[in-house]
Structure 1
Amino acid sequence: MDLDLDFPAVSDLRARARRRIPHFAFEYLDSATGRELQAVRNRERLDSVLFMPEILPGKVAPDFTTRFMGEEFARPFGIAPLGMSGLMWPGAEAILARFAAKLGIPYGLSTVATRLPEDIGPLTKGRGWFQLYCPADPGIRRDMLRRARESGFTKLILTVDVPDDSRRERQRRAKLTLPPRITPRVVWELLTHPEWSLRTAQVGQPRLRLPESYLDKAKALSSLAHAGHIIRGAPDWDTLAALREEWQGHLLIKGVMDPEAAKRLVAAGADAIWVSNHSGRQFEAGPAAIDALPRVRAAVGPDVPLIFDSGVSSGLDILRALALGADFVMLGRAWHYAVAALAEKGPPHLAHILTDDMRLNMAQMGAHRLSDLPSRLLTRP
């Protein structure tokens, strides 16, 4: 199998992932909310960001090493936290964490991952970022922070764009429960996806192990009241102030679209702003994330670290975000398409796709450095 010929783009990895994993797992990974118009908007607005090509640029050999928040990374992109990661491919968290450490890029672990921070943190070799869905109980919150810190996670991500659930109708139609209920339909899915099933049997059922470690194990959990929902609180500005005191490292605020809110977050002690609309999974009627990015940059000024995600599916998309003000770009779905499609071979192949796409597009623009990108912008959202 020649991966570069068989799977030259993220869309090819997505198509193979769809065939290799159960329907309920793919629908969780791939779906947005409502009619998925915000996900469509993300794609359309990214596509509207154009660059002027250059002729006779000479040899273009960009160095993608990126210094971000005091650390050096091999690429200007990383692996975003994704809930229930191990549902998409058994052992996905460990596969991705090990790869991130090897390449030298950050790996984000979600509160609602299927593995504990104690299991995954050591694999990141100091590249791990822990994403917090803030529980209502401050004692649980402080203990989660302690466990993340002691497990080796160096940065804390507070996700602020999930004040409540979203309906995610595709996910509901797929009858997703965690752990999966044994129904005739689920049995059929398991039988027709044998590699996923065998690997799941080896690593154990996908469960929300961190939230469950704080629950009464005898408590019955329905699909709509799983551990992640039970412990999730409703964080406000006071919660942010408490969290700023409790976490001594870098604090990243994820899910910011409003420029005024971004300025207030910086004043409240945020070390970085993460522009994101949760890839359309939470709120259908909001703007495209790429439209918010230059507005947030203008509001916070040139020196505040900015991260971007939402709808990124190519190296060109990464260049678009960097040109419009992002210092770093994170991808979530794409890495999970890759690992579901090709298991351990998926992440390095995706990194190759993204890196090569960035290099070749920069050659077309005559951009020798990432800092050249804004000058090549032709249109802005």
Structure 2
Amino acid sequence: MDLDLTYPAVSDLRARARRRIPHFAFEYLDSGTGTELQVARNRQALDDVLFLPDILPGRVAPDFTTRFMGTDYARPFGIAPLGMSGLMWPGAEAILARFAQAARIPYAISTVATRLPEEIGPLSGDMGWFQLYCPADAGIRRDMLRRARDSGFTKLILTVDVPDDSRRERQRRAKLTLPPKITPRVIWEILTHPRWSLGTLKVGQPRLRLPESYLDRVESLSSLAHAGHIIRGAPDWDTLKALRSEWDRDFLVKGVMCPDAAKRLVSEGVDAIWVSNHSGRQFEPGPAAITQLPMIRDAVGPDMPLLFDSGVSSGMDVLRALALGANFVMLGRAWHYAVAALGDAGPAHLMHILTDDMQLNMAQIGTHALSDLPRRLIRQASNS
């Protein structure tokens, strides 16, 4: 099968993933919150970022190798953390971690992954980053940091845009619970997706393995149903200070949309700021993430490392974010569509899609280097 002809875009991978995995798993991966206006707003604002094409640029063969925070990556994009990855496809965390190490792009594992940092860290090697949902218990927090450090993760990502749960109505309609409740509907979905089911049987039921490993430390919490409560802290600026003192490697803060907050993060000593609205999964009536990116760049100055995610679904979107001030771009859903659609072959095909799209569009724009993109912008994202 010629993957480039059969699945030429992320939307094609999404469509195949939808057919290959149970409905409740797809809804977890694909859904936003509310009526998904924020998801649509992210998409529209990215589409509003336009470039003036040039002519006669000669041969355009850009070097996409990107030095970011002292490390050379093969591309200016990587794999964002996504909770319960193994629900989307059995062994997804291991598949993505191995690929990231081989391809030399970053892979960020979530606190609520279905595999432990000790399992995934050796697979991702020096490409591994660790995302933290900060526990209320300081002892558990410090132990999680120790385990991430000992497992080889080079960067800590504190996610700050999840102060509480979001409704995510599509997930509720799909009857998704953690752990999954065995109902006739769930049984039917499992039976009608045999590849997913056999793979899950082989690697084990998706579980919140890292939080679950601390159940014996918390009084009254004795089942997986309560494991999520371990990570439901309420981090504040004092928590940030504590984390900065406890983690001696690169410290990133993810979920920043406010320029004033970004400036304060710089003064608190964080090493990078990650502009994101959680891809529309947490809060519906907010601005598109891409509209905030130039304002945050202006607020923090030219030297502060900035990452971007939220709605990125093509190489063109990667170029848009880079042109508007990001140093690096992360994608979450897209990599999981790829794994769910094509298994082990998925990540390499997605990397090809993104890379080819970037190169071909840069030829149209007439830019030979990523640093030239801003001068060809003709319209920045609107505040729609």
Same structural fold, with TM-score higher than 0.5 when normalized by the shorter chain: yes
1:264-279 → structure 2 map (5 Å cutoff):
264-279=264-279
The corresponding residue for 2:253 is 253
The corresponding residue for 1:36 is 36
SS in structure 2 of the partner of residue 34 of structure 1:
coil
Could you tell me how far apart the structure 1 residues matched to 2:88 and 2:277 are? 21
Please state how far the C-alpha of 1:305 moved relative to its aligned partner. Answer: 0.1
Please state how far the C-alpha of 1:216 moved relative to its aligned partner. Answer: 3.5
Q: After superposition, give the CA deviation of every residue in 1:8-65 in whole Å (9 maximum; x if it has no partner).
A: 0000000000000000000000000000000100000000000000111100000000
Could you tell me how far apart the structure 1 residues matched to 2:229 and 2:92 are? 22
Asked if the contact 1:108/1:131 (under 8 Å) is kept, the reply is yes
The corresponding residue for 2:116 is 116
Say if 2:12 is the partner of 1:12.
yes
The residue type paired with residue 8 of structure 2 is P
* Aligned-pair Cα RMSD in Å: 1.0
The corresponding residue for 2:340 is 340
Please state how far the C-alpha of 1:232 moved relative to its aligned partner. Answer: 1.8
The corresponding residue for 2:239 is 239
Say if 2:65 is the partner of 1:65.
yes
TM-score of the superposed pair, with normalisation by structure 2:
0.97
The corresponding residue for 1:189 is 189
Q: After superposition, give the CA deviation of every residue in 1:233-275 in whole Å (9 maximum; x if it has no partner).
A: 0000000000000000000000000000000001001100000
Asked if the contact 2:179/2:224 (under 8 Å) is kept, the reply is no
1:1-381 → structure 2 map (5 Å cutoff):
1-216=1-216, 219-222=222-225, 226-381=226-381
Please state how far the C-alpha of 1:301 moved relative to its aligned partner. Answer: 0.2
Asked if the contact 2:318/2:329 (under 8 Å) is kept, the reply is yes
TM-score of the superposed pair, with normalisation by structure 1:
0.98
The residue type paired with residue 315 of structure 2 is G
Q: After superposition, give the CA deviation of every residue in 1:303-345 in whole Å (9 maximum; x if it has no partner).
A: 0000000000000000000000000000000000000000000
SS in structure 2 of the partner of residue 129 of structure 1:
strand
Q: After superposition, give the CA deviation of every residue in 1:332-360 in whole Å (9 maximum; x if it has no partner).
A: 00000000000000000000000000000
Deviates more, 1:108-117 or 1:181-190: 181-190
The residue type paired with residue 159 of structure 2 is T
Q: After superposition, give the CA deviation of every residue in 1:85-142 in whole Å (9 maximum; x if it has no partner).
A: 1100000000000000000000000000000000000001211000000000000000
Asked if the contact 1:179/1:205 (under 8 Å) is kept, the reply is no
The residue type paired with residue 324 of structure 2 is L
Could you tell me how far apart the structure 2 residues matched to 1:46 and 1:83 are? 24
Could you tell me how far apart the structure 2 residues matched to 1:365 and 1:20 are? 37
Could you tell me how far apart the structure 2 residues matched to 1:62 and 1:231 are? 42
Asked if the contact 2:212/2:224 (under 8 Å) is kept, the reply is no
Question: Aligned residues, how many?
Answer: 378
The residue type paired with residue 4 of structure 1 is D
Asked if the contact 1:50/1:377 (under 8 Å) is kept, the reply is yes
Please state how far the C-alpha of 1:221 moved relative to its aligned partner. Answer: 4.7
Asked if the contact 1:178/1:206 (under 8 Å) is kept, the reply is no
The residue type paired with residue 93 of structure 2 is E
* Consecutive unaligned residues in structure 2, runs of 5 or more: none
Could you tell me how far apart the structure 1 residues matched to 2:335 and 2:149 are? 25
Could you tell me how far apart the structure 2 residues matched to 1:220 and 1:331 are? 32
